Chain A
Amino acid sequence: MQAGSQDRRVELTRALRDAGVTALLAFGLFLPLIGFETQQNIRNELILTTRLPLLFTIVAIVGVGRLVYSLALDPWLKQRTMRPPQATPSAWRAPVAKWFIPFSIGFVIAYPIIVVAIKGLGGAVKWVDNFGIQILIYVMLGWGLNIVVGLAGLLDLGYVAFYAVGAYSYALLAKTFGFSFWILLPLAGLLSSFWGILLGFPVLRLRGDYLAIVTLAFGEIIRIVLINWVDLTNGYAGISGIPRPTFFGISFNANDDGFAAVFGLEFSPIYRTIFLYYLILALAFLTAFVTVRLRRLPVGRAWEALREDEIACRSLGINTTNTKLTAFAMGAMFAGFAGSFFAARQGFVSPESFTFLESATILSIVVLGGMGSQIGVAIAAIVMIGGTEIMRELDFLKQIFGSAFDPTQYRMLLFGFAMVLIMIWKPRGLISSRDPSVFLKERKSISSDLVKEGHG
């Protein structure tokens, strides 16, 4: 009893000391950038103002957070790992796993209808557009990059280049020649995959981080060319007035031959939004379907073999050059599809949309989701993109923190932070187990602990 209370006192002093040190560290960290603010005054000179209350609030939060961690969270986590793992998975797991995919597919198909039913025709546009279409574009890009990174193990940080090629080829060809969306969609995919092969050739010998950096360089080069080749791309100003896709020749406008008039409906922008939603949904499903089928073809098996061990792959007689190039081409093709969809949806493209940040976002979605796992990638896209989109909707926070508080500013801040946290929590991504495409007797998912990743 006596020893117990003494132990607790030692523990408490240690926790307090840790909290103090952490708070002190936080003070040092945040002192320059939060404690002081640089502002331009009227004469355009920089002046300093202090923000000490904010600084001390943050320091106090960090200190208390550390105290809570070492007193409550840490012992709880330790206790949890000490407990023997449950031998049998709980009873609800199997049915959930079985029904999860059909239910999700049903949900995404019904999503616009549900939103319209809840929000009405006018209010639903934002929800279908910002959450539905926006997330689905990233799901599709994630699935496309998943072929390159997840299946073939080629780390690509310049994926946005192919997205840009798709978007600009749709924008330019549609504006110059007036081709329709349905002709240009495959064409954009083709052009992108051509660029995929073109950029894939020089980097065949590279792998891992080096490959990532070179692809990053390629992505940036393409963006700089888009900015500076003003004759073709109109530079920073971008290309506007890109023709929108039509519903079998019926355009979505308020005219007499528009979609609403033809079908005897009242005009509303929601019809176009819902059409675009189903379009990107179909494209995303196409990506997923093709990937699933490709995994069962020799080329897909070669990709996965390449990911696990390139040397073994080569010694077994697999042509690694072709394998890598097909992976680049395939991934780039889907980026091209997504790009032309993006251009058609926005009606406007500019180099601003194809920065390195986009590539990093797509790659992080693939890695956070668990490389190779399609469901994982979709979940990661929903969490990361939906999470940052939802920051736009948090207007009630203004009532708490004052009207100067703008939650949208913090979107990318939290995005970066979440990337670090998820990596620390689950370094192999949310769904790390592997789903074999060949098996004896029964399909079992393979735990990530058993997978030895090659150099990639």
Chain B
Amino acid sequence: MEIFLQQLINGITLGSIYGLIAIGYTMVFGIIGMVNFAHGDVFMVSAFIALIAFLILTTWLGITSISLALLIVLVVAMLFTSMVNWVIERLAYRPLRGSFRLAPLISAIGMSIFLSNFVQVSQGPRNKSTPPMIQGEFVLLDSNNFAVTLSFKQLVIWGITALLLMAFWYLVAKTKLGRAQRACEQDQKMAALVGVDVDRTISMTFVIAAALSAVAGTMYLMYYGVVSFSDGFVPGVKAFTAAVLGGIGSLPGAVIGGILIGLIETMWSAYFSIDYKDVAAFSVLAITLIFLPQGLFGRPDVEKV
């Protein structure tokens, strides 16, 4: 029971990170029907940007207030990562819009290889570890020498995720940009005819996706305290799994899918085998796509001749 409770807490934390990345996949897939393969690597890049920003703030500028530093790091990471993803969309995906179906996928795979190797070359292949940023924890339950704890950093992750999801929901549901996005998702040509700037909307989608993945990247760095150039792939695939599980194209689905994947992974590690935790996530992906291709909250894909 204690283990279950602890893994529940850990799973929700991990799941929040996956959920934030999954939104990026689901939004981009919704609007241009493309699996943005490089998204996991954008997440990794954002973690590196956060790492560098954190080091600048703490070692050079001597900021001691950790919450202030984290806030600045978050904003800086979101800003720079958005720029990176904007440029990627401009250079690698926009010229291929409306072209052969496989071309954007291959271009995205190329971009993914490029990004991880760029970080490897520019920052070195070793793991980068930071000193713990936030310490301390609440002890929720203490019995039989096993204490169920909720650490402060997990609380921070929950809080920031909830806050950002609300902001994001407002953006998509209430603003002009969100309306334009939903219009483009339904019918790009029609949206263009009624005066929506489709190119700009798609660019903004990539920017928002990157900003959310930058939040995930910052929190990943804060939670694990370590990041390496190859850390983009597996979280990327798991977040994609989350997006598929929730129903690709559905925004609440992405978040719920993310939390489910986080839970499945942590429960699997606790009760079965930690070596095969990735197999659990990948199997969920395969099983969902085979038996429930529209996911939990997605619209069924009607095939027309």
Interface of A toward B, CB cutoff 8 Å? 25, 28-29, 31-34, 36-40, 45-48, 155, 202-203, 205-206, 208-210, 212-214, 216-218, 220-221, 224-225, 227-228, 311, 356-357, 360, 363-364, 367-368, 371, 409-410, 412-413, 415-420, 423-424, 427-428, 448, 453, 455-456
Closest to B125 in A: A409
Tell me if A32 and B303 are in contact (CB < 8 A): no
Q: Which residues of A contact B279 (CB under 8 A)?
A: 221, 224-225
Q: Which residues of A contact B111 (CB under 8 A)?
A: 416, 420
Q: How far is the CA of A439 from the CA of B100 in the complex (A)?
A: 25
Asked, given contacts A28-B80, A206-B293, whether A363 binds B121 with beta carbons under 8 Å apart, the answer is no
Q: How far is the CA of A33 from the CA of B48 in the complex (A)?
A: 8
Interface of B, secondary structure class, is helix
Tell me if A424 and B109 are in contact (CB < 8 A): no
Q: Which residues of B contact A28 (CB under 8 A)?
A: 80, 83
Asked, given contacts A203-B290, A213-B35, whether A417 binds B282 with beta carbons under 8 Å apart, the answer is no
Asked, given contacts A210-B289, A213-B240, whether A416 binds B114 with beta carbons under 8 Å apart, the answer is yes
Tell me if A202 and B286 are in contact (CB < 8 A): yes
Q: Which residues of A contact B305 (CB under 8 A)?
A: 311
Q: How far is the CA of A423 from the CA of B114 in the complex (A)?
A: 14
Would you give the 0/1 interface string for B271-292, flagging 1 where the beta carbon is closer than 8 Å to chain A? 0010110110011011001100
* Total contacts A-B at CB 8 Å: 181
Tell me if A32 and B80 are in contact (CB < 8 A): yes
Tell me if B59 and A47 are in contact (CB < 8 A): yes
Stretch at the interface among B126-134, B168-176, B186-194, B251-259: B126-134
Tell me if A29 and B87 are in contact (CB < 8 A): yes
Contact of A214 among B95, B109, B273, B289 (CB under 8 A): B289
Stretch at the interface among B50-58, B140-148, B155-163: B50-58
Q: Kindly provide the distance from the CB of B133 to the nearest chain A CB, expressed in whole angstroms.
A: 13
Tell me if A417 and B107 are in contact (CB < 8 A): no
Contact of A205 among B130, B233, B290 (CB under 8 A): B290
Tell me if B286 and A48 are in contact (CB < 8 A): no
Asked, given contacts A48-B55, A416-B111, whether A364 binds B121 with beta carbons under 8 Å apart, the answer is no
Q: Which residues of B contact A420 (CB under 8 A)?
A: 91-92, 107, 110-111, 114
Tell me if B237 and A214 are in contact (CB < 8 A): no
Q: Which residues of B contact A448 (CB under 8 A)?
A: 100
Closest to B122 in A: A33
Closest to B51 in A: A38
Q: How far is the CA of A363 from the CA of B95 in the complex (A)?
A: 21
Most central of B101, B102, B105 by chain A CB within 10 Å? B102
Interface of B toward A, CB cutoff 8 Å? 34-35, 45, 48-49, 51-53, 55-56, 59-60, 80, 83-84, 87, 91-92, 95-96, 99-107, 109-115, 117-124, 126, 128-131, 233, 237, 240-241, 244, 273, 275-276, 278-279, 282-283, 285-286, 289-290, 293, 303, 305
Tell me if B122 and A37 are in contact (CB < 8 A): yes
Q: Kindly provide the distance from the CB of B29 to the nearest chain A CB, expressed in whole angstroms.
A: 8
Q: Which residues of B contact A203 (CB under 8 A)?
A: 286, 289-290
Q: Which residues of A contact B115 (CB under 8 A)?
A: 416
Tell me if A428 and B290 are in contact (CB < 8 A): no
Known A212-B105, A419-B113; 5 more pairs at CB < 8 Å: A38-B52, A46-B55, A214-B290, A216-B237, A371-B102
Q: How far is the CA of A448 from the CA of B103 in the complex (A)?
A: 14
Tell me if B237 and A217 are in contact (CB < 8 A): yes
Contact of A419 among B35, B80, B107 (CB under 8 A): B107
Tell me if A39 and B124 are in contact (CB < 8 A): yes
17 CB contacts below 8 A, A to B, read: A28-B83, A32-B53, A48-B56, A155-B102, A205-B293, A224-B276, A227-B275, A311-B303, A367-B102, A409-B121, A413-B118, A415-B110, A420-B114, A423-B103, A423-B110, A428-B103, A448-B100
Q: How far is the CA of A412 from the CA of B119 in the complex (A)?
A: 12
Q: How far is the CA of A270 from the CA of B177 in the complex (A)?
A: 65
Question: Lowest 5 A-B CB distances belong to which pairs?
Answer: A419-B110, A416-B114, A416-B113, A427-B103, A217-B282
Q: How far is the CA of A210 from the CA of B295 in the complex (A)?
A: 12
Tell me if A428 and B100 are in contact (CB < 8 A): yes
Asked, given contacts A213-B285, A357-B113, A427-B99, whether A364 binds B106 with beta carbons under 8 Å apart, the answer is yes
Q: Which residues of B contact A47 (CB under 8 A)?
A: 55, 59
Asked, given contacts A209-B35, A224-B279, A311-B305, whether A29 binds B83 with beta carbons under 8 Å apart, the answer is yes
